[in-house]
Amino acid sequence: MQSRKALITGITGQDGAYLAKLLIDKGYEVYGVHARRSTDALWRLRYLGIEKEVTLLGGDMTDLPSLLRCMEKSAAGEVYNLAAQSFVGTSWEQPILTANVTGVSVVNMLEAVRTVNPKARFYQASTSEMFGLIQEAMQSETTPFYPRSPYGAAKLYGHWMTVNYRESFGLHASSGILFNHESPLRGIEFVTRKVTDAVARIKLGKQKELRLGNIDAKRDWGFAGDYVEAMWLMLQQDMAEDYVIATGRTTTVRDMCAIAFAHVGLAYQDHVVIDPAFYRPAEVDVLLGSPAKAKAKLGWEAKTDLNTLITGMVDADMVRVSQD
**Residue range at the interface with ligand GDD (CB under 6 A); choices 54-62, 84-92, 264-272, 297-305:** 84-92
Q: Pick from 62, 164, 207, 252 the residue near ligand NAP by CB under 6 A.
A: 62
Q: Is 93 a catalytic residue?
A: no
Residue 297 burial by Cβ neighbours in a 10 Å radius (0-12, 13-18, 19+): middle
One of 18, 80, 123, 151 is an active-site residue; which one?
A: 151
Our finding on whether 146 is near ligand GDD (CB under 6 A) is no
Which amino acid is residue 171, in one-letter code? L
Query: How far from chain centre, in Å, is Cα 322?
Result: 27
Among 74, 98, 108, 127, which residue sits at the site for ligand NAP (rule: CB under 6 A)?
Answer: 127
Q: Which of residues 97-126 bind ligand NAP (CB under 6 A)?
A: 101, 125
Task: Give 229's contacts (C-beta < 8 A, 6+ positions apart).
Answer: 22, 300
Q: Between residues 59 and 202, which has the closer beta carbon with respect to ligand NAP?
A: 59
Contact status, residue 144 vs residue 135, Cβ threshold 8 Å:
yes
| Residue from 67, 79, 83, 88 in contact with ligand GDD (CB under 6 A) | 88
Residue 65 engages ligand NAP in binding (rule: CB under 6 A): no
| Residue 248 and residue 139 in contact, taking contact as beta carbons nearer than 8 Å | no
Our answer to whether residue 162 is catalytic in this structure is: no
Residue 288 CA to residue 218 CA, distance in Å, equals: 8
Q: What dihedral angle (degrees, nearest 10) is formed by the CA atoms of 291, 168, 63, 127?
A: -20
Check 78, 129, 251, 268 and give the catalytic one. 129
- Using CB distances below 5 to 8 A depending on partner kind, what does residue 117 bind out of ligand GDD, ligand NAP, none? none
Give the closest residue to 80 by CA, choosing from 223, 182, 185, 231. 231
Nearest-angstrom CA–CA distance, 33 and 39? 16
Residue 61: contacted member of ligand GDD, ligand NAP, none (CB under 5 to 8 Å, by partner type)? ligand NAP
Binding at 320: pick from ligand GDD, ligand NAP, none (beta carbon under 5-8 Å per type): none
Q: Is 129 a catalytic residue?
A: yes
Please say which residue, 69 or 211, places its beta carbon nearer to ligand GDD: 211
The reply to whether 162 sits near ligand GDD by the rule CB under 6 A is: no
Question: In whole angstroms, how far apart are CA 76 and each of 20, 68, 192, 213?
Answer: 13, 11, 34, 42
Q: Rounded to an integer, what is the distance from CA 130 to the centroid of its chain?
A: 13
> Which of 127, 247, 250, 251 is an active site residue?
127
**Residue 188: closest CA among 43, 78, 21:** 43
Q: How far is the CB of 209 from ligand NAP (least distance, A)?
A: 26
- Which stretches of the chain bind ligand NAP, using CB under 6 A? 9-10, 12-16, 33, 35, 37, 41, 60-62, 82-86, 101, 125, 127, 178, 180-181, 187
Annotated catalytic residues are 127, 129, 151
